[in-house]
Amino acid sequence: MKHHYYLIANEEAGSGRAKIATARIREILEKKNFTYSLYTTTYPGHEKELAQELLPKLAPWTEPVEEFPLLIVLGGDGTLHGVVNVLPKEIPVGYIPCGSGNDFARGAGIQREAEKAFWQIVGAQKPQTLQVMRYHEKIQDEVGLAINNIGIGLDAAIVAATNDSATKKTLNKYKLGSLAYMVSMIKVLFTQKGFPILVELNGQQLAFEKAFLCTTTNHPYFGGGVPIAPVADPRKATLDLVIVEKIAWVKIFYLIFQLARKKHMQSKNFHHFQTSKIRIISTVPEYGQVDGEVMGQRSFDLSFTSEPRLFWF
Protein backbone atom coordinates (compact mmCIF):
# COMPACT_ATOMS: atom_id res chain seq x y z
CA MET A 1 0.00 0.00 0.00
CA LYS A 2 1.28 3.43 -0.96
CA HIS A 3 1.04 6.52 1.20
CA HIS A 4 1.14 10.24 0.91
CA TYR A 5 2.97 11.19 4.09
CA TYR A 6 1.98 14.48 5.70
CA LEU A 7 4.66 15.34 8.23
CA ILE A 8 4.32 17.91 11.02
CA ALA A 9 7.79 18.54 12.45
CA ASN A 10 8.68 20.47 15.57
CA GLU A 11 12.39 21.00 14.99
CA GLU A 12 12.87 22.59 18.43
CA ALA A 13 11.92 19.38 20.25
CA GLY A 14 14.58 17.50 22.16
CA SER A 15 16.88 20.55 22.44
CA GLY A 16 17.23 20.58 18.65
CA ARG A 17 17.55 16.83 18.10
CA ALA A 18 14.33 16.92 16.12
CA LYS A 19 15.92 19.26 13.58
CA ILE A 20 18.62 16.71 12.83
CA ALA A 21 16.04 13.92 12.66
CA THR A 22 13.81 15.92 10.31
CA ALA A 23 16.70 16.45 7.90
CA ARG A 24 17.51 12.73 7.96
CA ILE A 25 13.90 11.63 7.40
CA ARG A 26 13.53 14.13 4.57
CA GLU A 27 16.68 12.72 2.98
CA ILE A 28 15.21 9.21 3.10
CA LEU A 29 11.89 10.39 1.66
CA GLU A 30 13.66 12.01 -1.27
CA LYS A 31 16.04 9.12 -1.87
CA LYS A 32 13.27 6.50 -1.82
CA ASN A 33 10.88 8.66 -3.88
CA PHE A 34 8.15 8.64 -1.22
CA THR A 35 5.29 11.05 -1.77
CA TYR A 36 5.26 13.53 1.10
CA SER A 37 4.51 17.04 2.30
CA LEU A 38 6.47 18.58 5.18
CA TYR A 39 5.14 21.25 7.53
CA THR A 40 7.38 22.79 10.20
CA THR A 41 6.10 24.44 13.37
CA THR A 42 7.38 27.93 14.13
CA TYR A 43 5.75 28.73 17.50
CA PRO A 44 4.09 26.94 20.45
CA GLY A 45 0.71 25.49 19.51
CA HIS A 46 1.42 25.72 15.78
CA GLU A 47 1.15 21.93 15.47
CA LYS A 48 -2.55 22.17 16.35
CA GLU A 49 -3.18 24.74 13.63
CA LEU A 50 -1.28 22.70 11.05
CA ALA A 51 -3.20 19.54 11.97
CA GLN A 52 -6.48 21.45 11.68
CA GLU A 53 -5.50 22.76 8.25
CA LEU A 54 -4.55 19.26 7.08
CA LEU A 55 -7.82 17.61 8.09
CA PRO A 56 -9.42 17.98 4.61
CA LYS A 57 -6.44 16.09 3.12
CA LEU A 58 -6.60 13.23 5.63
CA ALA A 59 -8.98 10.28 5.74
CA PRO A 60 -10.42 7.89 8.33
CA TRP A 61 -9.02 4.38 8.32
CA THR A 62 -11.48 1.89 6.90
CA GLU A 63 -9.61 -0.41 4.55
CA PRO A 64 -6.50 -0.30 2.31
CA VAL A 65 -6.68 2.10 -0.63
CA GLU A 66 -4.30 2.80 -3.50
CA GLU A 67 -2.70 5.79 -1.73
CA PHE A 68 -3.60 6.45 1.89
CA PRO A 69 -2.93 9.94 3.31
CA LEU A 70 -1.01 9.36 6.57
CA LEU A 71 -0.19 12.08 9.08
CA ILE A 72 3.16 11.71 10.88
CA VAL A 73 4.24 13.77 13.87
CA LEU A 74 7.96 14.35 14.24
CA GLY A 75 8.79 15.91 17.60
CA GLY A 76 8.30 15.33 21.31
CA ASP A 77 5.34 14.04 23.28
CA GLY A 78 4.07 17.61 23.64
CA THR A 79 3.83 17.93 19.85
CA LEU A 80 1.97 14.63 19.57
CA HIS A 81 -0.33 15.73 22.40
CA GLY A 82 -1.30 18.85 20.46
CA VAL A 83 -2.02 16.97 17.24
CA VAL A 84 -4.01 14.15 18.87
CA ASN A 85 -6.25 16.74 20.54
CA VAL A 86 -7.22 18.05 17.08
CA LEU A 87 -7.68 14.81 15.14
CA PRO A 88 -10.98 12.90 15.00
CA LYS A 89 -10.54 9.44 16.50
CA GLU A 90 -11.07 7.72 13.12
CA ILE A 91 -7.91 9.30 11.62
CA PRO A 92 -4.65 7.44 12.38
CA VAL A 93 -1.36 9.16 13.16
CA GLY A 94 2.25 8.02 13.00
CA TYR A 95 4.85 9.22 15.47
CA ILE A 96 8.61 9.70 15.18
CA PRO A 97 9.78 10.56 18.72
CA CYS A 98 12.48 13.21 18.95
CA GLY A 99 11.79 14.79 22.34
CA SER A 100 13.67 14.70 25.60
CA GLY A 101 11.43 12.17 27.36
CA ASN A 102 9.65 10.12 24.68
CA ASP A 103 7.56 8.31 27.28
CA PHE A 104 4.70 7.65 24.88
CA ALA A 105 7.01 5.76 22.52
CA ARG A 106 8.36 3.72 25.43
CA GLY A 107 4.90 2.78 26.62
CA ALA A 108 3.50 2.02 23.17
CA GLY A 109 6.44 0.07 21.76
CA ILE A 110 7.43 2.64 19.14
CA GLN A 111 11.10 2.75 18.18
CA ARG A 112 12.85 5.70 19.86
CA GLU A 113 15.45 6.24 17.14
CA ALA A 114 13.98 8.49 14.47
CA GLU A 115 15.06 6.46 11.45
CA LYS A 116 13.91 3.16 12.99
CA ALA A 117 10.59 4.72 13.95
CA PHE A 118 10.11 5.88 10.35
CA TRP A 119 10.72 2.42 8.91
CA GLN A 120 8.40 0.97 11.56
CA ILE A 121 5.68 3.25 10.17
CA VAL A 122 6.50 2.32 6.57
CA GLY A 123 6.40 -1.40 7.37
CA ALA A 124 2.98 -1.28 9.07
CA GLN A 125 -0.02 -2.33 6.99
CA LYS A 126 -2.66 -0.92 9.32
CA PRO A 127 -2.92 1.17 12.49
CA GLN A 128 -2.95 -0.12 16.05
CA THR A 129 -5.56 0.87 18.61
CA LEU A 130 -4.14 2.39 21.77
CA GLN A 131 -5.96 3.94 24.69
CA VAL A 132 -5.45 7.58 25.60
CA MET A 133 -7.06 9.45 28.48
CA ARG A 134 -9.95 11.87 28.16
CA TYR A 135 -10.13 14.32 31.03
CA HIS A 136 -12.61 16.94 32.21
CA GLU A 137 -11.58 19.53 34.79
CA LYS A 138 -14.94 20.75 36.06
CA ILE A 139 -13.92 23.92 37.94
CA GLN A 140 -12.63 25.62 34.79
CA ASP A 141 -14.59 23.37 32.41
CA GLU A 142 -11.42 22.24 30.66
CA VAL A 143 -11.52 19.11 28.50
CA GLY A 144 -8.92 17.31 26.45
CA LEU A 145 -6.92 14.19 25.74
CA ALA A 146 -3.68 13.07 27.36
CA ILE A 147 -1.33 10.56 25.73
CA ASN A 148 0.96 10.12 28.75
CA ASN A 149 -0.25 11.24 32.15
CA ILE A 150 -1.90 13.96 34.19
CA GLY A 151 -0.40 14.81 37.54
CA ILE A 152 -1.11 16.96 40.57
CA GLY A 153 1.63 17.76 43.06
CA LEU A 154 5.26 16.71 42.76
CA ASP A 155 5.57 15.94 39.04
CA ALA A 156 3.65 19.07 38.04
CA ALA A 157 5.68 21.23 40.42
CA ILE A 158 8.88 19.88 38.85
CA VAL A 159 7.64 20.75 35.36
CA ALA A 160 6.65 24.25 36.51
CA ALA A 161 10.00 24.80 38.22
CA THR A 162 11.88 23.57 35.14
CA ASN A 163 9.97 25.87 32.80
CA ASP A 164 10.67 28.83 35.09
CA SER A 165 14.33 27.91 35.56
CA ALA A 166 16.83 30.54 34.44
CA THR A 167 19.26 27.78 33.48
CA LYS A 168 16.89 25.91 31.16
CA LYS A 169 17.56 27.98 28.04
CA THR A 170 21.30 27.93 28.68
CA LEU A 171 21.36 24.15 29.08
CA ASN A 172 19.14 23.69 26.01
CA LYS A 173 21.76 25.48 23.91
CA TYR A 174 24.19 22.72 24.82
CA LYS A 175 21.56 20.00 24.40
CA LEU A 176 21.54 19.38 28.17
CA GLY A 177 17.91 20.27 28.81
CA SER A 178 17.37 17.13 30.89
CA LEU A 179 19.78 18.52 33.51
CA ALA A 180 17.40 21.40 34.15
CA TYR A 181 14.72 18.83 34.96
CA MET A 182 17.06 17.03 37.37
CA VAL A 183 17.99 20.26 39.16
CA SER A 184 14.33 21.21 39.53
CA MET A 185 13.43 17.72 40.76
CA ILE A 186 15.97 17.89 43.59
CA LYS A 187 14.74 21.35 44.58
CA VAL A 188 11.04 20.42 44.54
CA LEU A 189 11.64 17.20 46.48
CA PHE A 190 12.63 19.35 49.46
CA THR A 191 9.90 21.98 49.08
CA GLN A 192 6.77 20.08 47.98
CA LYS A 193 4.29 19.73 50.84
CA GLY A 194 1.62 17.13 51.34
CA PHE A 195 -1.92 18.08 50.29
CA PRO A 196 -5.39 16.56 50.77
CA ILE A 197 -7.19 14.84 47.90
CA LEU A 198 -10.41 12.89 47.52
CA VAL A 199 -10.52 10.04 45.02
CA GLU A 200 -13.61 8.32 43.61
CA LEU A 201 -13.11 4.98 41.85
CA ASN A 202 -14.58 1.50 41.74
CA GLY A 203 -17.68 2.74 43.57
CA GLN A 204 -15.81 4.01 46.60
CA GLN A 205 -14.34 7.23 47.99
CA LEU A 206 -10.78 7.38 49.30
CA ALA A 207 -9.31 10.31 51.21
CA PHE A 208 -5.59 11.05 51.43
CA GLU A 209 -4.58 13.79 53.84
CA LYS A 210 -0.96 14.21 52.76
CA ALA A 211 -0.62 13.29 49.09
CA PHE A 212 2.79 14.10 47.65
CA LEU A 213 2.31 12.92 44.08
CA CYS A 214 -0.95 12.07 42.31
CA THR A 215 -0.59 10.82 38.73
CA THR A 216 -3.11 9.23 36.38
CA THR A 217 -1.62 7.34 33.45
CA ASN A 218 -2.40 4.62 30.92
CA HIS A 219 1.15 3.40 30.27
CA PRO A 220 4.05 2.68 32.61
CA TYR A 221 6.31 5.71 32.20
CA PHE A 222 6.67 9.33 33.16
CA GLY A 223 9.51 11.82 33.57
CA GLY A 224 11.62 10.39 30.73
CA GLY A 225 11.51 6.66 31.42
CA VAL A 226 10.56 6.36 35.10
CA PRO A 227 8.37 3.22 35.39
CA ILE A 228 5.88 4.75 37.82
CA ALA A 229 3.12 2.23 36.93
CA PRO A 230 4.85 -0.92 35.62
CA VAL A 231 1.62 -2.86 35.03
CA ALA A 232 -0.13 -0.13 33.02
CA ASP A 233 -0.96 -1.14 29.45
CA PRO A 234 -2.05 1.32 26.73
CA ARG A 235 -3.78 -1.51 24.86
CA LYS A 236 -6.26 -2.01 27.69
CA ALA A 237 -9.20 0.29 28.42
CA THR A 238 -8.07 0.87 31.99
CA LEU A 239 -6.58 3.81 33.87
CA ASP A 240 -3.80 3.58 36.41
CA LEU A 241 -3.75 5.96 39.36
CA VAL A 242 -0.60 6.38 41.45
CA ILE A 243 -0.60 8.24 44.76
CA VAL A 244 2.50 8.70 46.89
CA GLU A 245 2.05 10.06 50.39
CA LYS A 246 4.35 12.59 52.01
CA ILE A 247 7.04 10.76 54.00
CA ALA A 248 10.40 11.54 55.65
CA TRP A 249 13.28 12.50 53.35
CA VAL A 250 15.20 9.31 54.04
CA LYS A 251 12.16 7.25 53.04
CA ILE A 252 11.67 9.35 49.90
CA PHE A 253 15.16 8.58 48.64
CA TYR A 254 14.69 4.92 49.52
CA LEU A 255 11.44 4.93 47.54
CA ILE A 256 13.31 6.46 44.59
CA PHE A 257 15.88 3.67 44.92
CA GLN A 258 13.05 1.13 44.91
CA LEU A 259 11.52 2.88 41.91
CA ALA A 260 14.72 2.42 39.94
CA ARG A 261 14.50 -1.31 40.73
CA LYS A 262 10.77 -1.45 39.90
CA LYS A 263 10.00 -2.58 43.44
CA HIS A 264 8.33 0.63 44.62
CA MET A 265 4.83 -0.86 44.49
CA GLN A 266 5.67 -2.81 47.64
CA SER A 267 5.92 0.39 49.70
CA LYS A 268 3.03 1.12 52.08
CA ASN A 269 3.27 4.81 51.11
CA PHE A 270 2.82 4.01 47.41
CA HIS A 271 -0.78 3.43 46.32
CA HIS A 272 -1.74 2.03 42.91
CA PHE A 273 -5.25 1.59 41.53
CA GLN A 274 -6.60 0.29 38.21
CA THR A 275 -10.09 1.18 37.03
CA SER A 276 -12.08 2.48 34.06
CA LYS A 277 -13.19 5.79 35.57
CA ILE A 278 -11.53 8.10 38.09
CA ARG A 279 -12.45 11.36 39.77
CA ILE A 280 -9.89 13.36 41.77
CA ILE A 281 -10.73 16.41 43.87
CA SER A 282 -7.95 18.63 45.21
CA THR A 283 -9.23 21.73 47.04
CA VAL A 284 -5.82 23.10 48.05
CA PRO A 285 -4.20 24.90 45.08
CA GLU A 286 -1.43 22.74 43.64
CA TYR A 287 0.38 22.63 40.33
CA GLY A 288 -1.11 20.34 37.70
CA GLN A 289 0.36 19.08 34.44
CA VAL A 290 -0.93 17.26 31.39
CA ASP A 291 1.66 15.57 29.17
CA GLY A 292 4.34 17.88 30.52
CA GLU A 293 2.36 21.08 30.00
CA VAL A 294 1.61 23.05 33.17
CA MET A 295 -2.09 23.55 33.91
CA GLY A 296 -1.38 26.18 36.54
CA GLN A 297 -1.46 26.24 40.32
CA ARG A 298 -5.10 25.83 41.30
CA SER A 299 -7.77 23.59 42.77
CA PHE A 300 -8.86 20.61 40.66
CA ASP A 301 -11.94 18.50 40.10
CA LEU A 302 -10.76 16.04 37.46
CA SER A 303 -12.63 13.15 35.88
CA PHE A 304 -10.92 10.58 33.64
CA THR A 305 -11.99 7.91 31.17
CA SER A 306 -10.06 6.06 28.47
CA GLU A 307 -10.63 6.54 24.75
CA PRO A 308 -9.33 4.45 21.80
CA ARG A 309 -7.19 6.17 19.18
CA LEU A 310 -5.42 4.90 16.04
CA PHE A 311 -1.61 5.00 15.84
CA TRP A 312 0.28 3.82 12.78
CA PHE A 313 3.38 1.76 13.58
Residues 6+ apart with CB under 8 A from 146: 81, 132, 133, 135, 290, 291
Has domain 2-126 been given CATH number 3.60.20.10? Answer: no
If one counts every other C-beta atom within 10 angstroms of the C-beta of residue 225, the result is: 12
β-sheet bridge partners, residue 311? 93, 128
Residues 6+ apart with CB under 8 A from 101: 76, 77, 223, 224, 225, 292
Please state the domain extents for the chain.
2-126, 133-311
Q: Is the dihedral of CA 184, 189, 191, 193 positive or negative?
A: positive
Residue 156 host element (H or E): helix 154-164
Same fold yes or no, 2-126 and 133-311? no
CATH of domain 133-311: 2.60.200.40
Residue 117 and residue 105: Cα distance in Å, rounded? 9
- Please, are residues 90 and 310 in contact by the beta-carbon 8 Å criterion? yes
If one counts every other C-beta atom within 10 angstroms of the C-beta of residue 82, the result is: 24
Report pLDDT for 176.
Answer: 57
The mean pLDDT values, 10 residues at a time, for the chain of 313 residues are 96 93 98 98 98 97 88 97 98 96 96 98 97 98 98 93 65 57 78 95 95 96 89 97 88 77 81 97 97 96 98 98
